[in-house]
Amino acid sequence: MNTAAPQTIFLSNYMAPGWHVESVNLTFKLAPEATRVISRIAFTPNPDAPAQPFMLHGEELTLISAAIDGVAVSPDLTAAGLTCDVPDGAFIWEAEVEIAPVKNTALEGLYMSNGMYCTQCEAEGFRKITYYPDRPDVMGVFTVRIESDLPVLLSNGNATASGAGWAEWHDPWPKPAYLFALVAGDLVAHNDSFTTMEGRDVELNIWVRAADLDKCAFGMGALKRSMVWDEQVYGRAYDLDIFNIVAVDDFNMGAMENKGLNIFNSSAVLAKQSTSTDADFQRVEAIIAHEYFHNWTGNRITCRDWFQLCLKEGLTVFRDQSFTGDLHGHAVKRIEDALVMRNRQFQEDAGPLAHPVRPESFVEINNFYTVTVYEKGAELVGMLKRLVGDDGYRAALDLYFTRHDGQAATIEDWLAAFTDATDRDLTQFKRWYAQAGTPRLTVTDDFKNGTYSLHIAQQTPDTPGQTDKLPLHIPVAVGLLDDTGAEVVATTLLELTEAQQTFTFDGLASKPVPSILRDFSAPVIIERDVTQAEQAFLLTHDTDPFNRWDAGRSLARAVLLDMIANGGDLDAGYINGLRAALTDSTLDPAMRALLLAMPSEADMAIALAGQGQTPDPDAIHQTRRKAQRQLAEALATDIPAVLSSVRIDAPFAPDADQGGRRALSNSLLSLLTWADKGTAAQAQFDTADNMTQQLSALSILLAHGAGDAAAQAFYDQWHHDRLVLNKWFGVQISAAQPQDAVAVATRLTQHPDFEWKNPNRFRSVIGALTGNQAGFHRADGAGYDFVADWLIKLDPVNPQTTARMVAGFDSMRRWDDARREKMRSALTRIKDTPGLSRDTSEMVTRLLS
Ligand code: 0A1
Ligand code: ZN
C-alpha cells in the first residue's frame, strides 16, 4: 500500500536534480522475509541545478545504517524518503536497508513469484529497494552483487564474476533506476546467439521454469527478427554481450525493458501451438519486439521526467507496429491498430479520464500508462512521419539518436530533431501533445466546372480541465474515384491547419467519390453525410484497403443502428456486399475475416452516444445476435465452398497466411452454428491440434448454450497450465449471455483455481466481465456491485492492477440515468473504502468528477 500523502505533481514544476550519480554498487543478500540491500553511491553536485536540499526517495524500507564518506549519519526519515546534510563537493553515500520481498503483493520493487525473486522498478519502484534519487534524469553506472543459494542469479549488463551462492554483474551503460532489474530463481534457459551488424556476438537467453522450456522457441525467433529489423530499418544494433529475458507468472503489465534483462509476464513471452492462439503468437512477437526496441528508444535515450513518457512509449509502439506490419502485412495491422484507437482510445478521450498524450499533472504516475500515452502517442509519431516523408523521418531519427544518446530527453528535444533535420515548422503540430480529446472533422463537398472542392472543418471537444481547443495540424490522406471505381486522383496528403479549410481538385470529368482519411492518416473522427449506397460503392471499389474495410464497417454500423431504431431485418444490400467480399478469392482471408466481423457491442454503444442517444446494452446485444443469425441464413449456401478454399493442408505455422485462414474459418464456423446447433463446432473442438481452433470452438459452443461438456473437457485437459486456464476462466464469461454473465463470474470466483492475487487470473475473470458489455451493464446493477466488491478486495493487495481495472467504469456518462446512478454508487463505495490506495483513489476521483 502507498503510505505517502497524495500530492499532485506538475510538469511546470520540473527542477533539475541537485546531484548526479557517477556509480552505484549494490549488494543483495536475498531472503524472503529479510533481504538486506547494501548500497554505495558516488554523488557529484550538479552545477546547473538550482540550490536544493539533498533528498533520497525511499518507501517501506527499514534503514539499518547510513554513512557519508565513511562516517555514520542519521538522516531525517519521511514517508517519501530521507533528507540529510551533505558535504559541498562530491561524496560517497553508503546505506544498508532491509526489505521483505515475500510480503510484496503489489509487485512493485523486489518481490517473489512462485519461489523466484524478481523486480519491477518502472515507474517508481526502485525506491522500495533502497534509498536513491528515483527519477529518470539521474543516470548512473550500476554494479550489482547478488548473494543467494538459488541457482540462477541475474542483473543488468554483463556477467563479470560468480561463485557458489553469488554472482556479480556490471552494466557499462549509465541508466536511470527504473531500468534496474534483478532475478534469482530455479530457472532454465532456452539459449541462442546473435551476431550484430557491428560484429558483436551476443548470448541470448529466455529464462523459464523447467516445465515451460517447450514454449520458448517462438519468442526466441521473435527476438532475433527484432534485432535484425532494428539494424535494417533504424540502423540500431544491440550494445551488450548478453540479452536475457525472464518469464514471470505474477506481473502487473505485459513486460518491462530493463537494460539487458527484460522481465516478461509469462503470457507475453511463452507460446506454442497447442496452448497459444494466433492472437497470442502475434502479441508475444509484438511485445518482445517492443521491449527490445526500447533498448534504443527508452534506454539509450530515456525520459527527462515521467511527463515525457510518450517520448519512449509512443515511439516504441510506433516502432513495434511498423515491425509487425513489415513482417505480416500493413493493411491488416493498420485496421487492428485503428480498432484499438477507436474502441479504446477514443473512448478514453471522450470520458472523465481524458488526458493529453503529454499530461501536465498526476498524482500516481502508474495511472498514466494508458492507451492515450501509448497508442495515441504512436499515432503522433505516424503523423510526423507522414508529414516529413520517409527520408525526412529517417534523417530526423538519425539526428535524434546522435544528438541525445546517453541523455534524458523531452518532447521539445524530439520535435527539434524533426525541425532541424527537415526544416518543417512543427509549432502547431506540437499542440497534439498538449490537447486532449479526439478532433472531429466535418466534411462537405461540391463540384463545379470540373473542380471538386472538399470543405473540412475541425473541432476538438472540451475535456476535463481543457476548453477552447486550438486548431491542430492534421494530415488527411485523400483519394478520388470516378463512378466506375477508377482512381482519378491517387492518394494525396492534405494538411489541415485552419479551423475551416477548402481543398480543390481541378480538371475532373464528373463529380468524384472521395475516399477520406486513407490508411487512418490521423486519429480523428470524420463526420460526413454519406449514403449507404456510397459506402457500398467504396466497400467494393476503394483501392485503399483501410478505407475499403472502413466503408464496410460504417455500412454495418448504419444497418445495425437502423435495426435497433426501427426493427426489421438485416439489409439486403449489406448482405450482398459481404457475400461479394466473402467469395472474392483475390482478397486475403484475414481481410475477409475483418470485413465479416460486425462492429462490437461497445462500438455500437459509442456510435449511439456520438449521435446524442442513450444506448440500451440489451437492445444492442439482441440486435447484433439477430443480425448474425440472419447473416448466417443468407450466406448458408456460400459458406461451404469458402471454407474448403481456405483449408490449410500444410503443418501448423503461426504465420499471417495460416492465421488469416483460421480467422476466416472460425468466423464462418460461428455462422454455421446457428443452423447446425454446434455439430461442426463440437467436431472442431474434438479434433483441433492448435489452441486457436480449440478455443474458438469452445467459445462458439458456449455462446450457443451448447458448451458445458466442452468446457469440462477443456478444464480436464488444461488445468495444469496456468496460461491456458486463464483462457478457460475468461471465455466462459465473455461468451455468457447477458443475464448469466454475473452468475458465471461469481461461480468462477469460487473455483479452487481462482488465484485472485495473480493479476492475469484476476483479469481473466473480473476483466472478462467488464468486457461483456450487456452482462456488466445489467439493469439491476449486479455487475457493478460484483466488480466493485472485487476491486475493494484487491486494492490493499495490488493497488496498480486495481486502479487499472477501475477504468472499466469510464463509460459511465454514456448510459441511462438508472445505470449511471448505480455505477456512481459502486464507485462511491470504492472511494469511501478506508485506507484506499493512492492509485485507486486518484482513478475513482477522476471517474466521479
Ligand atoms: N515500460 C513497459 C511497461 C511497464 C510500465 C509500468 C510497469 O509497472 C508499473 C511495468 C511495465 C513497456 O512499455 O513495455
Ligand atoms: Zn514500452
Which atom of ligand 1 is least distant from the CA of 316? 13
At position 339, the amino acid (one-letter code) is: L
Q: Boundaries of CATH 1.25.50.10 in the chain?
A: 719-849
Q: From CA 582, how far away is CA 142, in angstroms rounded?
A: 57
Cβ burial 771-785 (10 Å sphere, 16+ → b, else e): bbbbbbbbbebbbbb
DSSP secondary structure of 596-640:
HSPPPHHHHHHHHHHTT----HHHHHHHHHHHHHHHHHHHTTTHH
Q: With a 6 A CB cut-off, is 252 part of the ligand 1 pocket?
A: yes
**Catalytic choice (124, 257, 285, 291):** 291
Instruction: Judge contact between 642 and 666, C-beta under 8 A.
Output: no
Whether 291 sits among the annotated catalytic residues: the reply is: yes
Q: How far apart are the CA of 307 and the centre of ligand 1, in A? A: 15
Kindly state the DSSP code that residue 297 receives in the 8-state scheme.
B
Which atom of ligand 1 is least distant from the CA of 287? 14
Q: With a 6 A CB cut-off, is 253 part of the ligand 1 pocket?
A: yes
Q: Boundaries of CATH 2.60.40.1730 in the chain?
A: 22-186
Ligand that lies nearest to the alpha carbon of residue 179, given by its number in the listed order: 1
Q: Boundaries of CATH 1.10.390.10 in the chain?
A: 303-434
Q: Whose CA is nearest to atom 2 of ligand 1?
A: 256
Q: How far apart are the CA of 764 and the centre of ligand 2, in A? A: 22
Q: Pick from 680, 740, 749: which is nearest to 710 by CA? A: 680
Q: How far apart are the CA of 283 and the centre of ligand 2, in A? A: 14
Instruction: Judge contact between 124 and 179, C-beta under 8 A.
Output: no
Domain 719-849 grouped into CATH 3.30.420.40: no
Q: How far apart are the CA of 264 and the centre of ligand 1, in A? A: 10
Cβ burial 482-514 (10 Å sphere, 16+ → b, else e): beeeebbbebeebebeeeebebebeebeeebbb
Q: How far apart are the CA of 582 and the centre of ligand 2, in A? A: 37
DSSP secondary structure of 193-260:
EEE-TT--EEEEEEEE-GGGGGG-HHHHHHHHHHHHHHHHHH-----SSEEEEEEESS-SSSEE--TT
Which atom of ligand 1 is least distant from the CA of 317? 13
- Which residues make Cβ contacts (< 8 Å) with residue 659, sequence separation at least 6? 278, 281, 282, 590, 692
Q: With a 6 A CB cut-off, is 306 part of the ligand 1 pocket?
A: no
Ligand that lies nearest to the alpha carbon of residue 257, given by its number in the listed order: 1
Q: With a 6 A CB cut-off, is 290 part of the ligand 1 pocket?
A: yes
At position 676, the amino acid (one-letter code) is: D
Q: With a 6 A CB cut-off, is 120 part of the ligand 1 pocket?
A: yes
Q: From CA 833, how far away is CA 789, in angstroms rounded?
A: 11
Are β-strands 201-208 and 152-155 bridged in parallel, bridged antiparallel, or unpaired?
unpaired
Q: With a 6 A CB cut-off, is 255 part of the ligand 1 pocket?
A: yes
Residues forming beta bridges with residue 502, ordered by sequence position:
455
Q: How far apart are the CA of 252 and the centre of ligand 1, in A? A: 8
Q: Whose CA is nearest to atom 5 of ligand 1?
A: 122
Instruction: Judge contact between 739 and 618, C-beta under 8 A.
Output: no
Q: Whose CA is nearest to atom 4 of ligand 1?
A: 256
Q: How far apart are the CA of 258 and the centre of ligand 2, in A? A: 11
DSSP secondary structure of 735-801:
TS-HHHHHHHHHHHHTSTT--TTSHHHHIIIIIHHHHSHHHHT-TTSHHHHHHHHHHHHHTTT-HHH
Are β-strands 261-265 and 302-303 bridged in parallel, bridged antiparallel, or unpaired?
unpaired
In what helix (H) or strand (E) does residue 459 lie, and over which residues does it extend?
A: strand 451-459
Query: What is the total residue count of the chain?
Result: 849
User: Which of the listed residues 110, 122, 367 should we mutate to test ligand 1's pocket, taking the one with most ligand atoms within 8 A of CB?
Assistant: 122
In what helix (H) or strand (E) does residue 281 lie, and over which residues does it extend?
A: helix 278-293
Q: With a 6 A CB cut-off, is 86 part of the ligand 1 pocket?
A: no
Using a CB cutoff of 8 Å and minimum separation of 24, what contacts does 200-205 make? 200/237, 200/238, 200/239, 200/241, 201/241, 202/227, 202/238, 202/240, 202/241, 202/242, 202/243, 203/241, 203/242, 203/243, 204/242, 204/243, 205/242, 205/243, 205/244, 205/245
Kindly state the DSSP code that residue 86 receives in the 8-state scheme.
-
Which atom of ligand 1 is least distant from the CA of 313? 13
Ligand that lies nearest to the alpha carbon of residue 123, given by its number in the listed order: 1
Q: How far apart are the CA of 267 and the centre of ligand 1, in A? A: 15
Which atom of ligand 1 is least distant from the CA of 123? 9
Q: From CA 692, how far away is CA 697, in angstroms rounded?
A: 8
Q: From CA 41, how far away is CA 141, in angstroms rounded?
A: 10
Q: Whose CA is nearest to atom 1 of ligand 1?
A: 256
Q: Whose CA is nearest to atom 13 of ligand 1?
A: 313
The dotted CATH code for 22-186 is 2.60.40.1730
Q: What separation in angstroms does the CA of 784 have from each of 348, 595, 605, 618, 770?
A: 19, 33, 18, 16, 9
Q: Whose CA is nearest to atom 3 of ligand 1?
A: 256
Q: Where are the beta strands (DSSP E) in 482-575?
A: 487-496, 500-505, 513-516, 525-527
Instruction: Judge contact between 283 and 269, C-beta under 8 A.
Output: no
Q: Whose CA is nearest to atom 8 of ligand 1?
A: 122
Q: Whose CA is nearest to atom 12 of ligand 1?
A: 256
Q: With a 6 A CB cut-off, is 122 part of the ligand 1 pocket?
A: yes
Give the pLDDT of residue 6. Answer: 80
pTM over 0.80: yes
Instruction: Judge contact between 60 and 28, C-beta under 8 A.
Output: no
Which atom of ligand 1 is least distant from the CA of 298? 1
- pLDDT < 70: residue spans in the chain: 1-5
Q: With a 6 A CB cut-off, is 369 part of the ligand 1 pocket?
A: yes
Q: Boundaries of CATH 2.60.40.1840 in the chain?
A: 440-529
User: Which of the listed residues 253, 257, 373, 375 should we mutate to test ligand 1's pocket, taking the one with most ligand atoms within 8 A of CB?
Assistant: 253
Residues forming beta bridges with residue 261, ordered by sequence position:
244
Q: From CA 248, how far away is CA 209, in angstroms rounded?
A: 9
Q: With a 6 A CB cut-off, is 124 part of the ligand 1 pocket?
A: no
Q: Which CATH superfamily is domain 303-434 in?
A: Neutral Protease Domain 2 (1.10.390.10)
Q: Pick from 829, 835, 794: which is nearest to 847 by CA? A: 829
Instruction: Judge contact between 285 and 300, C-beta under 8 A.
Output: no
Q: With a 6 A CB cut-off, is 118 part of the ligand 1 pocket?
A: no
Domain 440-529 grouped into CATH 2.60.40.1840: yes
Radius of gyration of the chain (CA): 27
Q: How far apart are the CA of 253 and the centre of ligand 1, in A? A: 6
Q: How many CB atoms lie within 10 A of CB 7?
A: 9
Ligand that lies nearest to the alpha carbon of residue 315, given by its number in the listed order: 2
Q: From CA 330, how far away is CA 147, in angstroms rounded?
A: 48
Q: Whose CA is nearest to atom 7 of ligand 1?
A: 122
Q: How many CB atoms lie within 10 A of CB 211?
A: 10
Q: How far apart are the CA of 285 and the centre of ligand 2, in A? A: 14
